[in-house]
Chains A and B, each alone.
Chain A
Amino acid sequence: MATSWLFKFFLCVFLMACGGLSLASEEAETQNTQRDTGTGSSSNATGDFGHGARPITTLRIVTWKWHHITAPYLVALWILVAWLCKLIIESNHHVTNIIPESALLICFGFMLGGMIWGADKVQTFMLTPTVFFYFLLPQVILDAGYHMPNKLFFTNLGAILVYAVIGTCWNAASLGLSLWGCHMGGLMGDLDIGLLQYLLFGSLMAAVDPVAVIAVFEQVQVNGVLFIIVFGESLLNDGVTVVLFNVFDGFVSLGGSQIDAAQIVKGVVSFFVVAFGGSLVGIAFGLLISLLTRFTKNIQIIEPGFIFVMGYLSYLTAEMLSLSAILSTVFCGVLCQKYVRANMHENSVQTVKYAMKVFANGSETIIFVFLGISAIDKIIWVWNTGFILLTVFFVFVYRFIGVFFLTWILNRYRLVPLEFIDQVIMSYGGLRGAVAYGLAGMLDENKIKEKNLMVCTALIVVYCTVIWQGITMKPLVTWLKVKRAEVNELTLLEKMTNKMFNHTLVAIEDISGQIGHNYLRSKWKYFEEKWMSRILMKPSAMKKQDEVFNVFHQLNLKDAMEYVAEAERRGSLEFIRKESVVINFRKRFESEYSEDMPDMRANMSNGHRATSTTRDPIPSVSVEMHKHTMKAMTEAEAVNAHHLLDQHLYKSRNQHRHGFSRSDFIINKDEKEVQEIFKRTMKNRMESFQSAKMGVSPKTVIKHAKMEHQQKMPKGKSISQTKLCYSCDEDFEFSEGDSASGYDLPYPSFPMRDSRPGGGIENSAFVSDLYPTDSLQTPDWLAEGELDSSMMAPSLPGQASPPSSPIEMRRLGLLRISTRSTDTKQMNNDQLPPPPRPSPSPPPSSHM
């Protein structure tokens, strides 16, 4: 399974290469077939090597096999060149602040094209429609769909659809008709273009291009609604563009005389089929992906690849059925994102996210560079001043007219009307891009005599919009004082209140008997939670869905990280126990408990409180909490936390040893760590014990406990070693030097636990998490983590006995829990029942 999957993954990677491959080969073809210019074979460097079969006279040690690898080599080289361009551009932010990256990339393309032209006297490389539509566009679209802000998208779906459908039709029709009108008026001189061909041209120029829009708007950072309307429009208008293009293409082939009402009706019907069919294909694939990721637990390494393969398949399937491929991929991404994120391991989610960005960003770069390169070609430059300038002018003007008119209608229905400034930006953001160029390239030269003029015009429009409007967009946004995107993290209270809002609105709609958005949304949500989630999501994943919970989790995490950072500054985590900052809160809470609701206090602790001296004070919920707290780790925090923890809590000596397994690349390391930590812990314990003996006065209770621990140690060790022996390929020497990892702290302070009984709040997991001071066990997980994880020793048996693989973050959770249990033991001198084991954590295969 794994190998076959890997194969697919490589295939996927290879596809991009193949993209370029066909880029080159098709290039050769187009040149050979379409251009009888007789530039000679010298133009095509690919064809000339190794053709002649020379007789073998002697065995050659080194042979020059350029023709074997020409195509993939060129592809790889071009990708490299394009990315290097980006590297150069991005190295200087003074320039990119003024001129957007996309414009600069096109300019680089000009330069590269010029070089090729200078060398070959013909343009060997250009963006062909096949390469663009099959190998470059899908990633960008999939990325757009997968990272779509769903809520924003669906609340504005109505407006987006209006712009995408009516707006695009308007653009196409008005442009085509106006150009035709001007032609009739004699503004363009002698051109062999009929009305239908003008309409065809209009339809290919009509669509706002997603790639260009993303590239420009990403740097401008306008507010969410504005962005989603332009961006959503650019994605969804693909359905319209495809239909318009196909219909007019068909009409052109049929010839004007054969078009009757029936044909036009067919055209209208085909719009619905193409748009909805494409969306349905996408939804089907989205469901399939979600379902699939439910079962990929055991092949986590290749898990992320499914998203790419299936996403690509959804694109190709729609294309195969001549439906809208972009719509298909968008909806596939939109639908699956939630379930995929919930189902897959967080590392896979990260991988998907980054790989997606790599692909999308990479192919976006290539698209722009090649848009530039394509321009340097004598053949496509057919200049017709009237036609070109009028097109640029009409594209610009009709976009404004269309947007303003449609917004005027929409604003009568919108709760929050789009303001004048928004409309200006929306109109100005109507960028045309590679899609228009690609479609123009697909025109049939036999049917449309002026194809090259159209291609050339399309390119000029693209340059005008991307370069000129791209450059002026930012100053315009600043000048008009457009509301920018607000980057504010919602506080917990805000989240809660948001939730409150939503429920209240639904209730008011229910009570007033209206069927509004909120009503529909809540019904959908209910359905979604009840059915979709149940079918598509792992049962274990459903828990972390709640966004409130995520915020809560992030808060916890932030606190922990602040502690670590603070400790780093001070060189110790000691302060957590002493400082007053945290104590304040605790006191506040305590006082609230005691003053406001004494009865609550008893209730709260679920009976733990009464028995807290004899029973372990960690309520089961805390274990549970940690489990999904750790799972709910999201994105950047996860990475940050990993780094922080990696750096500060533990530094493995053997970190750079590489395993050989392709599928288990974490386990080894983990267990090595466990063992190493264990060793260090032993040492620490020994030392602290010695220092205690030397009269630095830890409490006797603790001392005893320590002795006991030491006696227990070997047992724990043996368990762990037998359990984990399959990973024992490592040799660990135990040396003094590396154990302290730079945080040598005064040991005497470590055993001196403040054994004051924890405040009145035993039960709530969060109190102990957030305020380590208050239930005294908690600081230790941090403090001791810093102190070379002294407490890992007792936790080792705990980790080893249920087969668990401590993932870095999750280990922290285990660590916390087990720490407490240790301390409990220490405090109560082993009169306690065994500490709670971390509830069965994922089997060892669930590595990073």
Chain B
Amino acid sequence: MGASQTRPEHNYDDLTDKSGFSQEQIKNLYQRFQQLSGNNEKISRDDLERIPALNNNPIRKQIITAFFDKRNQHQNDVGSLDEIGFEQFLMVMSHFRPVNSTATEEEKASVRKQKLRFLFNMHDTDNDGIITLDEYRTVVEELLSQSGAIETEVARAIADAAMLEVASTNVPHMAPDDFYEGITFEHFEQILKGIEMESRMYIRFLDMNTATMRCGKLSS
């Protein structure tokens, strides 16, 4: 796509520092961005919703929303955008970049935290720092909506049970009148500490184009 030439090279340097992607990866992602946006500078919700491969994804809505969420832009800002530019697009993507093999334990931990935060934000739609039962239910219902076997009521019950589980692990001795508002990020982190993230939250952003991707299949 010739459009990539319209973007001067030095901009990439900038973005490399910010997002940690390599020049090559940024170039690829930019091509993709252009493809999605129809060669526009900005990308909108509709553009993302049009991606055919996303149709089968039960939590499509949440993911698309996450792209337009200012919280995921590595800035201390809240609210949501209507459309995002390439830089923002890249920042969201950078959540899923694998850490370097040279990274220290601390760096790994912080990356992990960042990823968890991303997930947390997908749950916490109203940005009050707490996943309420209501919010959680919505997500679970969406998540389970695809497998037609589980009815909405069951999904809801599952959400309730999960919530209760969090409540009982985090606040073991609750007085009868106590009220558990929801999962805070700390609780969220605590509960998910057993999850193996290293291999899960990453996507291989290869330097190559997708045409050569197939070799990746064999290698892991």
Contact = CB atoms under 8 A, between A and B. Distances in A.
A binds B: yes
A504 B147 CA distance: 17
Interface string A240-252: 0000000000000
Contacts of B51: 510-511
Given A503-B58, A546-B144, A588-B178, A596 B150 contact: no
B15 interface: no
Interface residues of A, number: 83
Contacts of B82: none
A299 interface: no
A512 B93 contact: yes
B93 A505 contact: no
Contacts of A413: 216, 219-220
Given A416-B199, A417-B101, A491-B165, A764 B157 contact: yes
Interface in B181-198: 183, 191-192, 194-195, 198
B168 interface: yes
A485 to B, nearest CB: 12
Interface stretch (A58-66, A153-161, A650-658, A712-720): A153-161
Contacts of A417: 101
B63 A592 contact: no
B143 to A, nearest CB: 6
Contacts of B103: none
Interface in A203-222: none
A500 B59 contact: yes
Interface in A635-664: none
Contacts of B200: 498, 501-502, 505
Interface string A581-605: 0011101110110011100100010
B164 A770 contact: yes
Interface in A645-691: none
A583 B178 CA distance: 11
A286 to B, nearest CB: 22
A573 B176 CA distance: 20
Contacts of A516: 203-204, 213, 216
A512 B122 contact: no
Contact of B143 (A503, A604, A625): A503
A515 B201 CA distance: 16
Interface string B89-129: 00001001010010000000000000000010010000000
Nearest to B54: A510
B210 A765 contact: no
A358 interface: no
Contacts of B201: 501, 505
Q: Is the interface of B mostly helix, strand, loop or mixed?
A: helix
A526 B201 CA distance: 21
A769 to B, nearest CB: 8
B39 to A, nearest CB: 15
A507 B57 contact: yes
Interface in B149-191: 149-151, 153-154, 156-158, 160-162, 164-169, 174-180, 183, 191
A144 B153 CA distance: 38
Nearest to A620: B153
Contacts of B133: 589, 592, 596
Nearest to A158: B218
Interface stretch (B3-11, B29-37, B73-81): B29-37
A350 B134 CA distance: 39
B166 A493 contact: yes
A625 B150 CA distance: 9
Interface stretch (A69-77, A451-459, A547-555): A547-555
A510 B59 CA distance: 13
A571 interface: no
Residue among B144, B149, B165 with most chain A CB within 10 A: B149
Among B98, B203, B218, max chain A CB count under 10 A is at B203
Interface string A521-551: 0100010010000000000001111101100
A613 interface: no
Given A415-B199, A497-B119, A587 B177 contact: yes
Contacts of B198: 415-416
A162 interface: yes
A522 B55 CA distance: 12
A496 B35 contact: no
A515 B213 contact: yes
Nearest to A559: B161
A555 B165 contact: yes
A415 B157 contact: no
Given A415-B199, A505-B203, A492 B162 contact: yes
Interface in A405-424: 410, 412-417
A500 B220 CA distance: 22
A771 to B, nearest CB: 9
Nearest to B180: A588
A496 B147 contact: no
A572 interface: no
B44 interface: no
Given A529-B147, A544-B149, A585-B167, 4 more contacts: A514-B210, A515-B210, A516-B216, A584-B178
18 contacts: A155-B220, A158-B219, A413-B216, A496-B158, A497-B195, A505-B203, A507-B60, A509-B203, A511-B32, A511-B36, A514-B210, A522-B56, A546-B147, A584-B176, A585-B167, A585-B168, A624-B151, A765-B157
Interface of B: 28-29, 32, 35-36, 48, 51, 53-54, 56-60, 63, 67, 93, 96, 98, 101, 119, 122, 132-134, 139-140, 143-144, 147, 149-151, 153-154, 156-158, 160-162, 164-169, 174-180, 183, 191-192, 194-195, 198-206, 210, 213-214, 216-220
